[in-house]
Amino acid sequence: MKIIVIGGGASGIVASIFAKRDNNEVVVLEKNSKCLKKLLITGNGKCNYFNDDFSFEHYYSDSTDKLSNIITSDSKKKILDFLSSIGVVPRIKNGYYYPNSNQAYSVHNSLLKEASLRGVDVRNDVKVLNIVKKNDSFLVSTNNGDYICDKVIISTGGKSYPKTGSDGDGYLFGKSLGHKIVPVVPSLVGLVSNDKFIKSLSGVRCDVCVSLGSKSEIGEVQFTDYGLSGICIFNLSNIASRLGNCSVNINFLYNFVDDYNDFCKLFDKVNNSVLNRSIGELLEGYLNYNIVNVILKKCDIDFSCSWNDLGNKKKLLFDNLISFNVDIVGTRGFDVAQVSLGGISLDDINVSTFESKIVPGLYFTGEVMDVTGDCGGYNLGFAFLSGIIAGEAVGDTCD
């Protein structure tokens, strides 16, 4: 039995490890000169590879109903037991898992060593060009000759950060073999806005509660020359990327006031205790100076105006402080996006093995499928989990 894994990324290497049995041959074909190029840049080189809160609610797919059958109560143990068995020692910070070395290289080296110990044949600089099913076998054409095999695992990733090797080939292979593709868009990425107030805040960072529709995130927003960035914005991009034009709301005082009454009470009190200060100066106690200026300008309030002289502008000021509206015109592109949203539809995949329902013997792992996680270790978590499940399933057919 010969198994070919296309793509030596996180999910492909894990799949190859689990697929290998004494009596079979497992070959990984990787188009780069080295495997796991993307893994090395994850988490700013520190590799946030998992999250303690590993639940299906952190994932997006057109087939939402299938996610709870994939991310189950067993998933966490499966992933962590495997990583521990290959020598990855975790350091857990607020639920986010990193290798204790703080280096993605530790995870990279552990995975490649395990593949080598198991006898997986990794071939770099081999770009797969086409896959054809012929009777019970597959013909895999590459830039370096043809391969014939019994099973194929497509682990080519999505099309984000194409310089790491994942540039969308897997979607083409899946489509040519009859699979439905859920439209693919950049995700976990910054949001673009033409709002002049936002642009004037470029460089400022602030802890806020930011919402898009019914989804809210608390964390640091970074204002940039193109719009908004930061982990909480990335998480909202999983929704924004499908919407195109939309608007997000920023609550700058989420940890101080709940409603207008609270707001008036708070500033009555502050105004009485901190004497001879303008509204601008009082707000500076809570917020970055540039944000204070932008909000006052938007409300047409003079920085030097006193709290008591605001009159009916108090309500306008409150509205802008707790629900600052930013019009979004789209997301940034695939070149800077951490992941791709969309991909091979789960409708065409048996999610307990990740085998295609259309082409028997063909399997998928990782980002090429229509499963996208939040920031925080969820995408590598899914890459590992799908690699384990698909690898085990293919390997079992060889026993």
Assess contact for 218 and 254: CB atoms under 8 A: yes
Q: Which residue has the tokens 């004497």?
A: 275
Binding to ligand FAD (CB under 6 A) within 47-76 occurs at: 48
CB of 367 to ligand FAD, least distance (A): 4
Binds ligand FAD (CB under 6 A): choice among 21, 31, 108, 179: 31
By CB under 6 A, residue 29 contacts ligand FAD: yes
Binding region for ligand FAD (CB under 6 A) out of 26-34, 53-61, 277-285, 298-306: 26-34
Q: Which residue has the tokens 């090395």?
A: 40
Binding region for ligand FAD (CB under 6 A) out of 64-72, 262-270, 317-325, 365-373: 365-373
Assess contact for 293 and 303: CB atoms under 8 A: yes
- List the x/- string, 111-130, binding to ligand FAD by CB under 6 A: ----------------xx--
Of 390, 386, 361, which Cα lies nearest the Cα of 148?
361
Q: Is the Cα torsion angle 52, 53, 54, 59 positive or negative in sign? A: negative
- What are the strands of the beta sheet with 2-6, ordered from one edge? 121-123, 25-29, 2-6, 151-154, 362-364, 355-356, 349-350
By CB under 6 A, residue 367 contacts ligand FAD: yes
By CB under 6 A, residue 26 contacts ligand FAD: no
By CB under 6 A, residue 383 contacts ligand FAD: yes
- The Cα–Cα gap between 128 and 374 comes to 30
- The Cα–Cα gap between 375 and 98 comes to 13
Q: Which residue has the tokens 């101080």?
A: 256
Binds ligand FAD (CB under 6 A): choice among 169, 195, 355, 370: 169
Residue number of the CB atom closest to ligand FAD = 9
- Helices vs strands, H then E, count in the chain: 13, 24
By CB under 6 A, residue 6 contacts ligand FAD: yes
CB of 386 to ligand FAD, least distance (A): 8
By CB under 6 A, residue 11 contacts ligand FAD: yes
The bridge status of strand 151-154 relative to strand 2-6 is parallel
By CB under 6 A, residue 332 contacts ligand FAD: no
Cβ distance to ligand FAD smaller for residue 175 or 297: 175
Phi, psi of 117 (to 5 degrees): -60, -35
Cβ distance to ligand FAD smaller for residue 188 or 279: 188
Cβ distance to ligand FAD smaller for residue 195 or 374: 374
Q: How many CA atoms lie within 13 A of 304 on its CB side?
A: 0
The DSSP annotation for 145-210 comes to EEEEESEEEE----SSSGGGS-SSHHHHHHHHTT--EEEEEEES-PEE---HHHHTTTT-EEEEEE
- The Cα–Cα gap between 54 and 123 comes to 33
By CB under 6 A, residue 379 contacts ligand FAD: yes
Cβ distance to ligand FAD smaller for residue 48 or 320: 48
By CB under 6 A, residue 184 contacts ligand FAD: no
By CB under 6 A, residue 106 contacts ligand FAD: no
CB of 302 to ligand FAD, least distance (A): 44
Cβ distance to ligand FAD smaller for residue 7 or 190: 7
Binds ligand FAD (CB under 6 A): choice among 287, 295, 380, 385: 380
Binds ligand FAD (CB under 6 A): choice among 24, 26, 27, 30: 30
User: For binding to ligand FAD (CB under 6 A), which residues are involved?
Assistant: 6-12, 29-32, 37-39, 41-43, 48, 127-128, 155-157, 160-161, 165-166, 169, 338-339, 366-368, 377-380, 383
